[in-house]
Structures are given as C-alpha cells and as structure tokens.
C-alpha cells in the first residue's frame, strides 16, 4: 500500500526540508487510541513523577537547542537567532508548568459558608485524558508548546498536529519527549493537511482541542468539535495596537515598535500592526521611526513570508494603505516574494482593510491622535482583542490605559514582554479567540474541576434536605438568614 506524503519546504529557498506522511482518519484514530491508554498511565504516575520527567524533557530540549533552532530556521525561514529565542521561551514555560502544576491543581479545602457549616468542601483539578493540539507555522515550537507543556503537566496525554508548513519540528519535539518518557506514547505527533486536523478535532476520545490559527479556520475546527461537544481553546490572531503617549520615551518606543512589527516578517499574532501616537510627540516619534527602519533589511534582520498565500493579503493591504495614506517607507514595490521589505504608512482611514484586517506582514499604519484617550478609543475599535502596547513615563496613566485596552495582554514600555512571563495567561477576546494558555489559568484550562462536599456531622434540629423536615426547622433557617443578610447597605 502506497503512503501519501507531502514535503515541507524552506520558504526562503524552496528546498525540501523533509517529507512526511499524510495521516488520514484511520491513522489518527490509531494514534488517539494509543494516547488514550497512555493518558491513564501518565495520570497515575502522580504530580511528582510527571514533574521529574518533564524537567528531564526540558533538559533534553536545552541540550538540543541549536539543532532545534536550525530546524525551525529551515522550515520557517526566520533567522537562527530568532528561532533560538523561541526555543528559550519554550524551555522557560515548560520549566514553569512542570514546577507549578501540583501547587495549582492539587486538592484544597474551600470555605463552606454558614449553610454548610457541617460540611467539609474540597476542590481539585483532574486530568481530562487526551488533548489534541493543532499548531501554527509562525512560531512552531513556542506557540503549540504553550498548550502541550501545560496539558502534559496537568496529567494529560497529547496528540499534536503541527502545521503542514512546519511538520518536521513538531515530529522532532515528540520524538525527543520519548527520551524522557519511553514507556508510553504520552506525546505524539500526527502529520498531514487539513483533513488530519479535522480527524483529530472530531474524534470523541479527544477531550479538548487547543487551536492556533486564523479566525476562519477556528470556526471550522469548532464545527468539528461541536459533533462531540468537545471544548476548545482558540487563539486566532490579532490586529494589535501600539499607543505612544505624550510623555513617552520616543526613542525606546520607536525601537520597540519596529521590532514588534517587523520581527518574524510581521508574522506574529501579538505583533504591532496599528500605531497611535499622541500629537505632542508625533513628529519626533516619526523621525525616529523613519531613521531606524532604514537600517532594517528583509532577508537579513528578518526572514521571508512563510506561507506563500499570505503575500496576496499583504499586497492588497499595502495597495489600500498607500492609495489612501501617506507613505513613510516602502510601498507596492516592497513585495518581492518570498520577502517583503518594511512598509510604514501614515493616516490610513480606520475603515480600510489595512487597519481592520490582520495583515501578518512587516507593515505598520500610523495615526496621529489628540490624546491618549482618543488613541485608546481607536485601539479598542477592532473586532480583534489579543494584545497591545502602551508607552508612557506616567506609570499610573500607563496602567490605566493598559487595563482599559480591549485585549487579553498588554505590555507597558516594552513589546510582547508578557509572552516571556510563564505565570501570565495568554489569550484574547472577540475575533482573537477565547480560553487561556500559560500560567495557572493555562494549567486549569487542561484540567476539569472536581468538587466534593462531605458531611462531617448532622445539624441538630435542622434536617433541611429530607421529607421529614419540620416547618419549625425551615422557619429557624429563615430567621437566621434574615438576621445575617437582611440588613441593607447604603
């Protein structure tokens, strides 16, 4: 029988990086069956043993960091240094998840309140079983491992479907896991195209799906999950805003803005796409931005557009922006496949595709605002709500702007810094998705809460949950509740 295969290509050169099987529904069902058995064994190991093995896996990844970074570079085209940074963040998160899972998820007592004075109440978080992870190509290690590491630490087995553009690194991550956990296939990878992901999402033995990708694809994955009421955590990209307040350090702001917008060729869900600058510092900020962008080169400082189909979207957005705004740098000629040179355009209308839709390329739209409040209003006028940035020397105002920004995460006087803090949850609102990875919230995302109430003794004269209950017992309860809670607060 001939096995269908597909190639992963280096987007910068077109060379074949690897060849992988197109695993169909039958193969996926077999892998999920193996994972289901492995999940029982992994959960039974207990927190301490899982912690030991996950920390060993972390050491394996750290020892192969250069090898893995080279593979990420080949499959995505991003510079080796950026790939290495991605691996460093992955290792940091894996370490945090392994060390904190027991503390976050273990059984603990909770208060019972007056009505439950005779009860002991406990809450714990138990493994789900098999978790399916469908990963992206732009950060093919860090992003999916934000789900994989936390799901494993919570006691689940994982079946990972990497992007068809970056399957090699996903397969390698699963292979290396077996060095630390050789007994059972606790973490497996399946490769293929959309059909492979659909088979994983629709398998009733998969108890949760973690998906990263476009909003449109997320809706299709959710439809597949709906057949079995399989819950999903979805991270669907963004159109993130960058606010420069009147008292901001414009040099630092311009430097951070460029890196947030251009690193990884702008193919970053939490990258900078829309910039709003308060009038008082607009001119110096734009001078600084224009000077700095002149030294940033596609193919040197950042890599190619990994997904060829994205070039058409980038072209359309650039055409729209330069037609209606004022070009600072770049333009239609910036698209020279597979690379796109930096593009900065001022005064693009807020209702244009370049401002409303996710571009996922090295482009920035910049708009002058009266004050920070107008900048915030414009930043929040988006269907997306993933992340954002505020630059201001006034800590109180910066914190307030960050709190009011409609996003799951906000960085102040830095860019994308929240991703480096393992204890912070990561996720969005609106068209950016729902659910959280990372941090304690990320651990709980891949566990089910289990509540237990145990009666320690019977309440004398107050047997309320019985058909033998007497009227005077209910009256006694009403009087107690009225005394405790009936006083109005003004």
- Which positions are catalytic? 235, 269
For the chain, how are helix, strand and coil distributed in percent, rounded to 5? Answer: 45, 20, 35
Give the angle 67-70-197 at the CA atoms, nearest 5°: 95
Report the alpha-carbon distance of residue 343 to residue 275 in Å, rounded: 13
User: Which residue matches tokens 């609102």?
Assistant: 429
Nearest-5° Cα angle at 425, 71 to 251: 75
State how far the Cα of 484 lies from the Cα of 36, in Å rounded to an integer.
50
Do residues 363 and 296 make contact, with C-beta atoms less than 8 angstroms apart? Answer: no
DSSP letter at 30 equals H
Query: Measured between alpha carbons, how far is 422 from 96 in angstroms, rounded to an integer?
Result: 6
**The length of the chain, given as a count of residues:** 490
Cis? peptide before 158, omega within 30° of 0: no
Contact at 8 Å (CB) between 445 and 435?
yes
DSSP E strands in 203-337: the ranges are 206-212, 232-235, 240-244, 272-278, 326-329, 335-336
What is the C-alpha separation between 126 and 437, in angstroms, rounded?
17
For 432-446, letters b (16+ CB in 10 Å) and e give: bbebbbbbbbbbbbb
* Beta-carbon-side half-sphere exposure of residue 411 (alpha carbons within 13 Å): 24
For helices 194-201 and 215-226, the axis angle rounded to 10 degrees is 40
Q: How far is CA 183 from CA 128, 140, 250, 407, in A?
A: 20, 26, 55, 42
DSSP state string for 58-102: HHHHHHTHHHHHHHHHHHH---HHHHHHHHHHHHHHHHHHHHHHH
Phi, psi of 364 (to 5 degrees): -135, 135
Q: Which two tokens stand for residue 247?
A: 């008292």
Q: Which of 386, 349, 356 is nearest to 240 (CA)?
A: 386
């Amino acid at each position: 029988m001939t096995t269908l295969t597909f190639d992963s290509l280096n987007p910068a050169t077109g060379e074949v990086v690897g060849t992988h099987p197109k695993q169909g529904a039958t193969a996926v069902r077999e892998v999920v069956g193996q994972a289901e058995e492995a999940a029982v064994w992994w959960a039974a190991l207990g927190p301490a043993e899982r912690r030991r093995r996950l920390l060993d896996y972390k050491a394996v990844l750290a020892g192969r960091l250069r090898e893995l970074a080279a593979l990420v570079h080949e499959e995505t085209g991003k510079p080796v240094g950026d790939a290495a940074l991605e691996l460093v963040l992955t290792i940091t998160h894996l370490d945090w998840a392994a060390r904190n899972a027991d503390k976050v998820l273990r059984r603990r007592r909770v208060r019972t309140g007056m009505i439950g004075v005779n009860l002991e109440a406990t809450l714990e978080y138990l493994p789900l079983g098999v978790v399916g992870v469908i990963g992206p190509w732009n950060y093919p290690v860090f992003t999916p491992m934000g789900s994989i590491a936390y799901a494993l630490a919570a006691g689940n087995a994982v079946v990972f479907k990497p992007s068809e553009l970056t399957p090699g690194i996903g397969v390698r991550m699963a292979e290396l896991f077996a060095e630390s956990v050789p007994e059972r296939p606790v973490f497996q990878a399946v490769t293929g195209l959309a059909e492979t992901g659909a088979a994983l999402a629709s398998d009733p033995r998969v108890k949760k799906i973690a998906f990263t990708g476009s909003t449109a694809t997320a809706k299709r994955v959710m439809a597949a999950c709906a057949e079995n009421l399989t819950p999903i955590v979805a991270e669907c990209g963004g159109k993130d805003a960058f606010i420069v307040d009147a008292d901001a350090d414009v040099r630092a702001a311009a430097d951070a803005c460029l890196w947030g917008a251009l690193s990884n060729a702008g193919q970053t869900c939490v990258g900078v796409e829309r910039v709003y600058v308060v009038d008082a510092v607009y001119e110096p900020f734009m001078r600084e931005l224009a000077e700095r962008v002149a030294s940033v080169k596609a193919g040197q400082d950042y890599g190619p557009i990994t997904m060829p189909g994205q070039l058409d979207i980038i072209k359309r957005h650039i055409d729209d922006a330069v037609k209606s705004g004022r070009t600072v740098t770049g333009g239609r000629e910036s698209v020279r496949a597979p690379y796109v040179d930096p593009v900065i355009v001022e005064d693009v209308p807020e209702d244009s595709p370049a401002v409303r839709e996710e571009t996922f390329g090295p482009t920035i739209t910049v708009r002058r605002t009266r004050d920070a409040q107008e900048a915030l209003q414009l930043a929040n006028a988006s269907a997306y709500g993933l992340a954002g940035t505020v630059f201001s020397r006034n800590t109180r105002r910066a914190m307030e702007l960050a709190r009011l920004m409609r996003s799951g995460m906000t960085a102040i006087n830095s860019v994308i810094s929240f991703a480096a803090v393992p204890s912070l949850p990561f996720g969005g609102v609106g068209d950016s998705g729902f659910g959280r990875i990372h941090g304690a919230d990320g651990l709980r995302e891949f566990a089910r809460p289990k509540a237990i109430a145990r009666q320690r003794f019977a309440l004398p004269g107050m047997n309320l949950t019985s058909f033998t209950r007497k009227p005077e017992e209910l009256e006694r309860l009403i009087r107690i509740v009225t005394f405790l809670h009936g006083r109005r607060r003004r």
